[in-house]
Structure 1
Amino acid sequence: MEPAAATSLQPEMSLSPLSPISSSPATPLPVVKTKPKTAVMEALEDITYGSVAGVVGKYIEYPFDTVKVRLQSQPDHLPLRYTGPLDCFRQSIRADGFLGLYRGISAPLVGAALENSSLFFWERIGRDAAYKMGMAPRGEPLPLTQLWLTGAFSGAMTSFILTPVELVKCKIQVPETEGGVVKAPLKPIPVIRDIFRHQGLAGFWHGQLGTLIREAGGCGAWFGSKETVSKLFREWNEGGVTSEEQLALMRADALPLWQQAVAGASAGMSYNFLFFPADTVKSRMQTTPIGESTAKMTFSSEAKALWKQAGIKGFYRGCGITVLRSVPSSAFIFMVFDALKKYLPMQ
């Protein structure tokens, strides 16, 4: 198609009232071409926008996460302190007020920024590797099975960053008692110092196996479910559309906001439900009082103790409230991340 400047002057052209009429052709506006993003810019976007999305999601979900950890970490040898999520909410608010549910949020905010930036960064690395291995032509969508695998790879890599952050968070979220009296809330820096003093550097990865299982499996489901539901929505939206031009425009554009929210919510529910037992065992391991020996506390020994105490139900304490809080949290994480990538691209 020839540019407009190559044609003769058209009668409908608007002329400036301050300029004389001229028969010379109009000068075309320059076409602005955006440079393709470099790998560095892509990585910077993943880290920056993933961090922002993670912080937003953490503020939404944190009170529910506090309740979940308190339900999961009830000891074997004592009667259950909480009868369920609502009772835990009620007791927690009565004891500390609503802001008490945000106890220890500073470390998790850092953790959420690290976690989500790492997840999106490693997921993109996984996609690049899949293209290089010939799983799909570059520029074409990867098969859904590959997207589940790249999500699992992302989660596995992120688990090594996440375990120390969650260890500190869990010890702060669960109040310690002495003689039936609740001790003063712990602070992040003293907790970090005490862990290092009693268990050394390796002590920060106590519970790593549980985090690895939860993150590898859960993030495979997180990214995979989001992409699966998004694909179903696109197919539904394109139903009956026969124009290739219109189809190309629809595929280049983002899904409607409500569909993005549903896809993100389904991702959060899949992540939290499928591998919740691993998270329960991990939380029990990480809420051991500082100073107690953890040498004999393994993932399998804690799993056996929990099974003996409460059976399969014990592995799902707090699952309902965790899945519930993941609906708005994951929806916002994906919506914020995708919106920032689309409207604030780094060049």
Structure 2
Amino acid sequence: MASEDVKTSESAVNTIVNLAEEAKLAREGVNAPSHAVLSICKSLVAGGVAGGVSRTAVAPLERLKILLQVQNPHNIKYNGTIQGLKYIWGTEGFRGLFKGNGTNCARIVPNSAVKFFSYEQASQGILWLYQQQTGKEDAELTPVLRLGAGACAGIIAMSATYPMDMVRGRITVQTDKSPYQYRGMFHALSTVLREEGPRALYKGWLPSVIGVIPYVGLNFAVYESLKDWLIKSKPFGLIEDSELSVTTRLACGAAAGTIGQTVAYPLDVIRRRMQMVGWNNAASVVAGDGKVKAPLEYTGMIDAFRQTVRHEGFGALYKGLVPNSVKVVPSIALAFVTYEVVKDILGVEIRISD
């Protein structure tokens, strides 16, 4: 796995270098359409790199969160963040901490690329409509408008990559003792498609879309609005010019991620549980005696909420919140900062704050 990560990193660096060289040529005399296409490609690459870096950095916590979300209440294996990580290390070793990360990156790289690019396009379109409506050419995006642009970006990115997210959840949950093993993302996709049908690839899509509206929307709205406020008000003498330091931007991203994930977390739990429906060999639904104590069968999102609260209490909607909170702070912060830094390296003229 380490070698695969190194190869992926080298490939990403080479892509960035090539795009930077092409950008230099573009500034020296390439026509406008070619320059526009190059700018779009660079923006997508920046978003993809941001997603890959941020998710790999917190992969062990991401896996533990999912295991906590879907574990059987009759066979508790993971009782908390530290105990859960130690249990994974003891039973599966170092590789167990990163199980499913390759599939996760295969999903999050295009998801992040589409999300950041969609936000830029949506925010530009919404700003133009707002300026036309108010008659003020110098009008700026409000926090509510940024929330709307972020929600649009989240829905587009989630829908485009949802099947990969679905199988990533199953690969993350399985262990070496699972009766049936998915060998990888494509094997999982083909197996689910063959055994459960095309609709199975979109199990849990509705709570995902509903959850992504406040989650991604708040991420972008809080991050951009907080940055804008810091630049304009210059509180506590933190800002000396119009540029924020990397540390300050990391803090803005951490605040944005914490608020967004807290609001949307129950929907993420329901999404994961719905994704496990139909997977009879999932390790999470098999109790210690080998018998299925609580089969995962939901008729829909509302039923999943109702059954979860009735059988396990309201607190079950926040299972895995602690490792997720620890994960979200560096993950979202790294994603935003990496995106802006890579765009600076590539020489992209437009940044999300603009």
Which range moves more in the overlay, 47-56 or 224-233?
224-233
Superposed displacement of residue 184, structure 1: 6.7
Which of 77, 87, 94 in structure 2 is aligned with 1:91?
87
Q: Give the Cα–Cα distance (whole angstroms) in 1 for the partners of residues 137 and 101 of structure 2.
A: 41
Indicate the SS of the match to 2:58. Answer: helix
Unaligned 5+ runs, structure 1:
1-31, 241-246
Offset at 1:282?
0.6
- How many aligned positions are there? 304
After TM superposition, the structure 1 = structure 2 runs for residues 1-347 of structure 1, keeping only pairs within 5 Å, are 39-75=36-72, 78-135=74-131, 141-175=140-174, 181-183=177-179, 185-187=181-183, 188-237=185-234, 250-251=241-242, 254-288=243-277, 290=279, 297-346=299-348
Q: Secondary structure at the match of 1:133?
A: helix
- Read off the aligned partner of 1:88 and give its amino acid letter: G
Q: Shift in Å at residue 230 of structure 1? A: 0.8
Structure 2: distance between partners of 1:67 and 1:34: 49
TM-score by length of 2: 0.77
Deviation at 1:99, TM superposition (A): 1.7
How far 1:218 sits from its partner (Å)? 0.4
The alpha carbon displacement at 1:280 in A equals 0.2
Q: Is the 8 A contact 1:111 1:162 kept in 2?
A: yes
Between Structure 1 and Structure 2, whose CA radius of gyration is higher? 1
What TM-score do you get using the length of structure 1 for normalisation?
0.79
* Greater fraction helix: 2
What is the CA-CA distance between 1:213 and the residue it aligns to?
1.4
Q: Report the CA distance between 1:298 and its aligned residue.
A: 1.5
| Structure-2 change in CA distance of 1:202 and 1:295 (3 Å) | farther
Task: Evaluate the alpha carbon distance shift between residue 103 and residue 138 of structure 1 in structure 2; reply closer, same or farther with a 3 A threshold.
Answer: farther
The runs of 5 or more residues in structure 2 that have no matched partner are 1-27, 282-294, 350-354
Distance between the aligned counterparts of 1:204 and 1:139, measured in 2?
45
Aligned to 1:134, the other structure's residue is in SS state helix
1:256–1:39 Cα change, 3 Å: same
The answer as to whether partners of 1:120 and 1:154 remain within 8 angstroms in 2 is yes
CA distance in 1, matches of 2:297, 2:305: 16
- Give 1:173's aligned amino acid: T
Answer yes or no: is the 8 Å Cα contact 2:122–2:152 preserved in 1: yes
- Preserved contact between residue 152 and residue 215 of structure 1 (Cα < 8 Å): yes
AA paired with 2:201? F
- Are the counterparts in 2 of residues 123 and 153 from structure 1 also a CA contact under 8 Å? yes
CA distance in 2 between counterparts of 1:345 and 1:114 reads 21
Contact 1:67 / 1:85 at 8 angstroms: preserved in 2?
A: yes
Q: 1:267 Cα shift?
A: 1.8
- For residue 193 of structure 2, give the secondary structure of its aligned residue in structure 1: helix
What RMSD in Å do the two structures reach over aligned CA positions?
3.0
Q: 1:224 to 1:280 in 2, by over 3 A?
A: same
